Amino acid sequence: MSKRKTQSYTSEYRAEATKLVLDQGLSVAEAATRLNMNQGTLAYWVTQARKGKTVSVSGAGMQSAVELAAENRELRRELAEARMERDILKNRPHGAPRPL
C-alpha cells in the first residue's frame, strides 16, 4: 500500500487563493483549476474566509498602512530619480561622450 502524500500550503498562498474567489469573482472550480489544486480544499478555505476564521497573514504578507505609506514614498523618490537620470541621458548633446 502506498501512503497518500499531503500537500501543505503557506498562509500567504491560502490568502491569495481565497482572494481569487472572493475579490476577483472567479468560481471555486475555475480558481482551483488555475492553481492546479484540489477544488474541495479551496472551497474549504473560501468558506472559512467568509466566516472570518482565517488565520491572519503576518510578516512579509501583510504590511501596516504606515509601512505601506513609507514604502510608497521611497518608491516615488526612486522613480523620480530614475526619471531624472533618464532625461539627462536622453537630452545630452549629440557629440557628448556616453557614460560608462
pLDDT at 1 (0 to 100): 56
pLDDT at 2 (0 to 100): 66
| CA distances for 23 relative to 38, 39, 80, angstroms | 20, 18, 32
pLDDT at 12 (0 to 100): 87
Give the cell for residue 20.
481569487
57 against 12, higher pLDDT: 12
pLDDT digits (tens, 9 = 90+) for 30-74: 999 999 999 999 999 999 888 887 655 444 456 778 888 888 999
